[in-house]
Structure 1
Amino acid sequence: MIDKTIYKYALINAVKHKGKAMEKAVIGAVMSNEPQLRKKAQQVSKKTKNIVENVNKMTPQEQKRELQKLGIKLEEKKETKKKKKLPPLPNIQEKVIMRFAPNPSGPLHIGHARAAILNHEYAKKYNGKLILRMEDTDPRRVDPKAYQMIQEDLKWLGIKWDQLIIQSDRIPTYYKHAKKILEKGGGYICTCKPTEFKKLKDQSKSCPCRNLPTKENLKRWEQMQKMPEGKAVLRIKTDLKHKNPAIRDWVALRIVDEPHPRTGKRYRVYPTMNFAVTIDDHLLGITHVLRGKDHITNTEKQEYLYKHLGWKPPTFIHYGRLHMDNIQLSTSKTREGIQKGTYKGWDDPRLGTIRAIKRRGIQAQAIREAMIEIGAKIADTTLTWKKIYGLNKNILEDMANRYFFVAEPQPFKIKNLPEHLKGTIKRPLHPDHPERGQRKIPFNGRIYIQKDDLKKAKILRLVDAVNVKIKNNSLEYHSMSLEEARKHNAKIIHWVPMDENIPANVIMPNTKIVEGLLEPAAKSLKIDQIVQLERFGFARVDKTNKKTTFYYTHK
């Protein structure tokens, strides 16, 4: 009587606290709700410790099922934690127009996701407009496949854009404004050798080209298309005494003798990022430019161009750097690694690309929530995988059906198993969603269990089946009930039948492959489905043929 009562309150406490019952809390609940046992407080206290330990060895799903057997159903408290919202934008005077402007040198990574998500969220917040702009005016840094990959990555992140702009389609527009700058005296065509110009610039002195008449600059501009690479550049006039030499008379257009993947050899003079960005931001009506603080120098450069052209600049907002440990985010290094065979592709699980994250089963909503929580603050911040996994787990817990996967399987035939205990074990696909149906697992005593489960154990509880004892590296029937397993502190383990199972492997984040076997109900799994492999972790189905291949997500 006392044991059953304590067991009930231990289960209730465990379910309320993510699978871990607390001894003092259980004793308190018994004393508070069962006044007849207050006289036996010492006895209750002694028994509670062992009962709590046994309950805590159970999985959360088993704890819930045990409560249901006792006719108790707890109302789960819904999370009342408010989702973080972005702070308001400054200077809202007209329709908000934001832009996300990647360079199509490869697919997006998690660092790009921050800019994309924040710009998208602000556009939605103000019922505004989001422009996707491909900044491809350096032919040497363009991957033709990246245009499509970037759009696929954004769609997966749930980002919808209102307009797609590709800068290489707009070269005539940049030429028009380059000529206008020369006519206004805000720029000049410089034919000085780079080393000579740098010497003068570092001394805050002008080069001979800076004071050429407008007519000569326009003549040189017309000749630039025929000049060899490196012969001439168009510079924007700034302050030659500026404290940052990088801002002094920066390069706006230069000759690049390289065919462009989209336009071929049609153009040879290309705008730099700072020139093209300024022209586009104005002509497209961008109201707010939201980007990393590594662009602060670029912002200052662009402000000179706005002034020369008599344009009002947008509102610039800079956020801090995003740090992530032990992850490759460099597109150029990733490409090099793929070419050398270090990485298997853009979706290699060791990478921080959106494609790699998606393949592992991380949900787009988890990435969005992480980026919104970080926001656009100026201070640098660190994003950990632990944080992403926590957000992702909140999503997957309800979504993922459960299955047994036995890694490094060891075959056993249970000795002395009573015939009447053989049959079919039924387990819910999801403990909280009985409407999804059940998994049927044949049990005849011939099973596979994990090699690790044999360590430091004398008695094992096969989930929903029987208790067995380990004897001379074999398994022998011990008892049937879960209560008996608790008395012996039996380790509760999963298993798969020897006669019906599915070969499977799991590709881990470090690309290590874990071989194993699945329960037969897993034959219905579909590619891209996320499941929870009980006692192993969440995983995404990548292939389903004779062997099922998963990509490991996290615990």
Structure 2
Amino acid sequence: MKADELVAISTSLGGDFKSIEPHLIRLEKHLTLRTYLAGYTLSELDTKIWLAIKSNRVAVSFVRKGSYANLHRWFTYVEQAHPEIQAEVKAADSARKAKVQAASRAGASYNLALQDTDKGVVTRFLPEPSGYLHIGHAKAALLSDYFAHQAYDGKLRLRLDDTNPSKEKEEYQDAIIEDLALMGIKPDVVTYTSDYFDHLYDTCLSLIKSGNAYADDTDVETMRDERGKGIASKRRDRTVEENLAIFEEMKNGTEEGLKNCIRAKISVDNPNKAMRDPVIYRCNPNDPHHRTGTKWKMYPTYDLACPVVDSLEGVTHALRSTEYTDRNPQFQWFLDTLKLRQVYMWDFARMNFIRTFLSKRKLAKLVDTGRVWGWDDPRMPTIRGIRRRGMTIAALRDFILKQGPSRNVVSMDWASFWATNKKEIDPVAPRHTAILKKDHVKVAIMGDEAPAEPRTEDKPLHPKNPAVGTKKVAFSKELILDQEDAKSFKDGEEITLMQWGNAFVRAIASGDPITSITCELNLKGDVRSTEKKVTWLSTQGQKLIDAELWDFDYLITKDKLEEDDDLEQFLNPVTATKEDAFCDEGVSKLKQDDIIQLERRGYYRVDKAYDENGDKKVVLFCIPTGKNK
């Protein structure tokens, strides 16, 4: 065999025995007159294939039985003559255990005892491209990624579940792939349920022919009522020939076909309502599919497509949220009835947050009615929304992985979510200064220590992290500060001008608002002795930068929105506020997505950077820190 053939074998030894047996036979023949697979010493190919066999319990068990003499001889010789290869096995195993233990120490248990992991692990993330990914999707994606790429040396498949053309768009499909990349998730394979429409059509045909599915023209309301009460549809006993004829009408999108759907013939009155003859095919001739166009006029539902394609694609462990738990027996029914390869299910609790809803239908309504700026609005619980609000990817991953794959459903406060983010940004966020434009107060600096002319000094951007760099701070006799600070001063009081020193308040102009103050510098004063440390900006020696400071509130007023709640009744009337401010000149150098701290105000993400040739304004979004204001 050639080297590239051996490389191909090394990547194909992770499946069950049926799939790897041909490769073992080829290796047996190749080793007839050879000590090593390539050359006369232990090569990289020998190491790769030996480790691949060693990591597959089925393969190693078969080889050790001695059924293939040459392969057994080679495997045993490498094991005995090259102890260094054992070190690689132990190191890889130790690394995997360490990752699991680290996650457990962080507050989550990942010891799920997943079935048959020795035969390989293939997980999948299965979003519908009918909207942008939200925080709930992030958990499903990150957990599937964790078990595939960290807990086990497996594969992660991304499959876009595009079976409903009336809701789906290519825009959403592309956004999902981009958002996963932003979260550091790299699927090994990307596929689409629509890739399997032909196969799913044949599958439905086989279910009809075997008497396990039937066509039903019962109206939606009646069908819902009958399923709820456990009453059989009048169409349940149609003949196979009649069902096949109607299925053909559905395929052609005829008037008769449009009246019908196909239902799996599972049960009428099972206590689990998901087992009561679920719909597995629907007609939709009016909306062209964003990938297949008008080829199909009917489409499989999730209930049929999910188990069939999971099995077909080699998924071993399907992780999904507990809202699908009732569907697990249904999933298994399709595997058993169609005699498909087993796929193991694991349910985890979805992430619920107070005063937040994750229904894509409701979120789309906010977008479509202009209540928010779009799917990436910082008030939206989408991945793009929380990133635009200032959540870092590192903090997002850390927070979700700490929740783990538990089945316990809880409603969380956003405080702990944003507190995780603060730990990431606080050590590296540059410090800058902003003074509100509204009623800002002019300050005249007097005394022997007052600078005769405006000057600048280099000051650290971060008091505890020199690596962040320095900024120019301007000093002069003319300053501005916030009205709120000025109103707190008393005549003769000693205050601290941050990053400069102490000063005595010598005169406060009467009136409300206060328009001006006079201060006398006292740079020898002890900054630890003052009660008030205030931010300020010099109006001389630097160019003040116009800025918009945005803050945001919850979209709804109710902690938990129920399914039948009227969204309009609970929408928060005011969810975005803006204040105009002056910032120090250093802010003009910031780029979009930079994260800074405005001293005494909080952390901000740059949503729009300063443009010398355009609108000379910086737009900053306040980042929550987990503390209530």
CA–CA distance in 2 between the matches of 1:327 and 1:208?
42
Q: What corresponds to 2:624 in structure 1?
A: 554
Instruction: State the Cα deviation string for residues 131-179 of structure 1 (Å, max 9, x = none).
Output: 1111121121113310111111111111111111112232111101111
Aligned twin of 2:18: none
Q: Which residue of 1 aligns with 2:121?
A: 96
1:383 deviates by 2.8
| Aligned residue among 204, 214, 220 for 2:240 | 214
Partner Cα separation in structure 2 for residue 110 and residue 454 of structure 1: 42
User: Matches of residues 244-283 of structure 1 in structure 2 within 5 Å?
Assistant: 244-259=272-287, 260-283=289-312
Amino acid at match of 2:111: P
3-state DSSP of counterpart to 2:581 = strand
Match of 2:595 in 1: 530
Equivalent in 299, 308, 315 of residue 328 of structure 2? 299
TM-score by length of 2: 0.71
Distance 1:435 1:320 in 2: 41
Letter in 1 for 2:622: Y
The equivalent residue for 2:135 is: 110
Give per-residue Cα distances to partners, 1:458-490, cap 9 Å, x unaligned: 232111324131622343333423644544x34
Given candidates 263, 269, 280, the residue that maps to 1:241 is: 269
> Which secondary structure does the structure 2 equivalent of 1:414 belong to?
strand
Please show how residues 312-391 of structure 1 align to structure 2 within 5 Å: 312-391=341-420
Q: Does 1:187 align with 2:187?
A: no
2:500 to 465, 475, 478: 465
**1:104 Cα offset (Å):** 0.8
Q: Residue 508 of structure 1 corresponds to which residue in structure 2?
A: 551
Quote the residue 2:536 is aligned against. Answer: 495
When structure 1 is superposed on structure 2, of 294-303 and 211-220 the one drifting more is: 211-220
- The separation in 2 between residues aligned to 1:265 and 1:417, in whole angstroms, is 82
Aligned to 1:368, the other structure's residue is in SS state helix
| Partner secondary structure for residue 430 of structure 1 | coil
**Structure 1 residue 261 displacement after superposition:** 2.9
Greater Cα shift, 225-234 or 277-286: 225-234
Return 101-110 or 191-200, whichever deviates more.
191-200
1-side partners of 2:220 and 2:134: how far apart? 34
- 1:427-471 superposed Cα distances (whole Å, 9 cap, x missing partner): 201223324432121211211111211232223211132413162
Alignment CA distance shift 1:120-1:219 (3 Å):
same
> Aligned to 1:412, which of 442, 461, 464?
442
> Is the aligned partner of 1:126 residue 2:126?
no
Q: How many residue pairs were aligned?
A: 475
1:87 maps to 2:110? yes
SS of residue matched to 2:262: strand
Change in Cα spacing, 1:311 to 1:437, as seen in structure 2 (3 Å) is closer
CA deviation after TM superposition for structure 1 residue 102, in Å? 0.9
Are the structure 2 counterparts of residues 208 and 419 from structure 1 closer, same or farther at C-alpha, using a change threshold of 3 Å? closer
- In the alignment, the residues of structure 2 paired with residue 434 and residue 164 of structure 1 have an alpha-carbon distance, to the nearest angstrom, of 43
Query: Partner letter of residue 332 of structure 2?
Result: E
The separation in 2 between residues aligned to 1:180 and 1:394, in whole angstroms, is: 56
2:519 to 437, 455, 477: 477
User: In structure 2, do the counterparts of structure 1 residues 351 and 194 end up closer, same or farther at CA, with 3 Å as the change threshold?
Assistant: closer
Native 8 Å contact 1:502 1:517 kept in 2: yes
Give me the whole-angstrom Cα distance separating, in 1, the residues matched to 2:226 and 2:131. 37
CA distance in 2, matches of 1:332, 1:199: 23
Relative to 1, partners in 2 of residues 1:390 and 1:208: Cα closer, same or farther, differing over 3 Å? closer
Given the superposition, is the C-alpha separation of residues 495 and 420 from structure 1 closer, same or farther in structure 2, using an over 3 Å criterion? Answer: closer
- TM-score by length of structure 1 reads 0.80
1:540 — aligned with what?
605
RMSD: 2.5
Deviation at 1:326, TM superposition (A): 2.3
> Whole-Å Cα distance in 2 between the matches of residues 147 and 136 of structure 1?
9
Deviation at 1:308, TM superposition (A): 0.9
Matched letter for residue 335 of structure 2: Y
